[in-house]
Homo-oligomer: A and B are copies of this chain.
Amino acid sequence: MNQESQKKLKIALDAMGSDYSPNSEIDGVISFFNQNPDLMNSVEVILVGDEKLLRDKLASNKLVDKNITFHHASQVVEMCDEPTSILKNKKDSSLYKGLVLVKNKEADAFLSAGNTGGVLSVSTVLLGRINGVSRPTIGALFPTKNKDFCLVVDVGANAEVKPKFLYEFGIMGSIYASEILGIKSPRVGLLNIGEEESKGTSIIQEAHQLMKKADFNFIGNIEGRDILQGNVDVVICDGFVGNIVMKFAESVIDFLKGSFKNYAAQGFINKISVALFLPILKNVLKSLDYQESGGVPLIGVNGNVIIGHGKSTPKAIMNMINRAVDAIQKDINRQIEAKLNT
């Protein structure tokens, strides 16, 4: 290994993860380097997967060897594979082997647009939790009215929580929002069904009390309607509620497209109007689109792990790599550890 490659940030990318793998992944990596020529001397992406297939697809590409390298994995994790079965039977999968690279410090981050539960479980087992973290969590970025993002944690890692877990999500979410999203003193809200402290389940009420004493910027309970309004930066909830709201939000685009289609079907004038307006609609709906934000972070494990949507486009993959570079450079895991152990 020469001096140059030792200094490079190494990002292991699950090349077999997305629904359109490996094409989305390959095109995403190429786009990343095309758009970031200044990073060509400092970033290497390791494509983890069927090496022969990947080499064939990239045959004539000049990025190979210098910026794109390969790590062979003979197995592929399917979306329907259960975490326990992956841990037991798919140790030669791209998902598992990519995380082994991080564990062995041969990579600085792992990205996958594959099985979310699988990435969560294998990461937790192989990398372990950050000292002081009870449960790793998955966050998702929602758009807001004023064009910023709002980070919602948890969106699926923990269906059942204790008050303490929610409190820790607040600490981790606050650090993520401040360091990665660049929000100064992020406003952290507890997702509830009313503003008063007495509202919600007993777990939420207890979490509220813990958060009141926290040293992050806790703004109290917020409601479902606040997420998109831009008056909160980090929304804390259990993974059951968060997952349902996230998937509901994703479905709004599809619902609106259907509604416009119905409207267009009502007559010729309607059809023309909708056709003229489609570009505007697409532009506006883009902000609702999960793909644009570059994956969701798995926070609380000892390593940088980013999970993409199964339907990740090359652009989404490119944004995931951008976000990984940022996460590695900011090293937020050490900050989380420090905050949780003071």
A277 touches B287 (CB 8 A): no
A156's closest neighbor in chain B, by CB?
B193
A270's closest neighbor in chain B, by CB?
B280
How many subunits of this chain does the assembly comprise?
Answer: 2
Chain A residues touching B, majority SS: helix
| Contact residues in B for A244 (Cβ distance below 8 Å) | 191, 193, 223-224, 237, 241, 245
CA separation between A263 and B245, bound complex, in Å? 25
CB contact between A274 and one of B199, B259, B270, B280 (< 8 Å): that residue: B280
CA separation between A254 and B288, bound complex, in Å? 13
A201 touches B255 (CB 8 A): no
A36 at the interface (CB under 8 A from B): no
A60 at the interface (CB under 8 A from B): no
A: number of interface residues (CB 8 Å) = 54
Chain A positions 249-272 with a Cβ under 8 Å from a chain B Cβ: 249-252, 254-256, 258-260, 262-263, 270
B243 touches A241 (CB 8 A): no
A260's closest neighbor in chain B, by CB?
B284
| Contact residues in B for A331 (Cβ distance below 8 Å) | none
CB contact between A248 and one of B144, B160, B249 (< 8 Å): that residue: B249
Which chain A residues have a beta carbon within 8 Å of chain B's beta carbons?
143-147, 156, 159-160, 191, 193, 199-202, 204, 223-229, 237, 239-241, 243-252, 254-256, 258-260, 262-263, 270, 273-274, 276-277, 280, 283-284, 287-288
